[in-house]
Amino acid sequence: NNAGAVTIDMLDPLSRKSFPPCMQQLHQSLRQNHHLRYGGRLQYGLFLKGIGLLLEDALRFWGAELSQSVGIDKFQKAYAYNIRYNYGKEGKRANFTPYSCAKIILSNHPANGDYHGCVFRHTDPALLRQKFQGQGMAAENVAKIVNYVTEGHYQLACMKHFEITQGVKECSFGLQHPNQYFEESQKILNG
């Protein structure tokens, strides 16, 4: 049980070092726009729960961001319930688990203005190339990733991204889940 392993002040550095690209994108958008639509709040909120952010911290984190865009009243009335619900504290009190890559890739295709989904499945390959080049990735590595994407191998593209950004020769795992990406990265960083 990793509940409490991650606190709010750890999220910015962790997002840069260990989040998979889908969660990095959600984190950055939330920080920039102080808002995410429902699909993004769900995908990112469950991921954060999975890496060990406690409910109290989740309410503070989302509250601090969303109240800047929708106001604190609306946050309390319309958004806080969903966060408690994700943690099994409302409604049918189910223990919701973070979404797998397959679920993210196959369901709830993002629309304009959405930031959820899989970066490799749901970003135009030309934009993807720009994005990774803009992050300073070597051209040959960008090409390897985009190659997988154009062949429809999104999880392999993400594993290549892991190898490049975490500095490992070959992934020792088959990527099935964003939380797995995070845990494997943390293993490398923390020894």
Q: Which residues bind ligand SF4 (CB under 6 A)?
A: 20-22, 101, 104, 118-120, 154-155, 158, 178, 181
Rounded to a whole number of angstroms, the minimum distance from the CB of residue 113 to ligand SF4 is: 19
Residue with Cβ nearer ligand SF4 (86 or 180): 180
DSSP 68-114: HHH-HHHIIIIIHHHHHHHTT-STT-----PPPHHHHHHSS---TT-
- Residue 24 has phi, psi (to 5 degrees) of -60, -45
Residue with Cβ nearer ligand SF4 (39 or 79): 39
Residue with Cβ nearer ligand SF4 (58 or 159): 159
Rounded to a whole number of angstroms, the minimum distance from the CB of residue 26 to ligand SF4 is: 10
Residue with Cβ nearer ligand SF4 (22 or 30): 22
Closest CA to 180 of 7, 5, 3, 19: 19
* Interatomic CA distance for residues 74 and 53, integer angstroms: 23
Rounded to a whole number of angstroms, the minimum distance from the CB of residue 22 to ligand SF4 is: 3
Rounded to a whole number of angstroms, the minimum distance from the CB of residue 176 to ligand SF4 is: 8
CA dihedral 14→28→125→135, nearest 10 degrees, is: -60
Rounded to a whole number of angstroms, the minimum distance from the CB of residue 42 to ligand SF4 is: 14
Residue with Cβ nearer ligand SF4 (26 or 80): 26
Query: Computed from CA positions of residues 105, 8, 87, 180, in that sequence, does the dihedral angle turn out positive or negative?
Result: positive
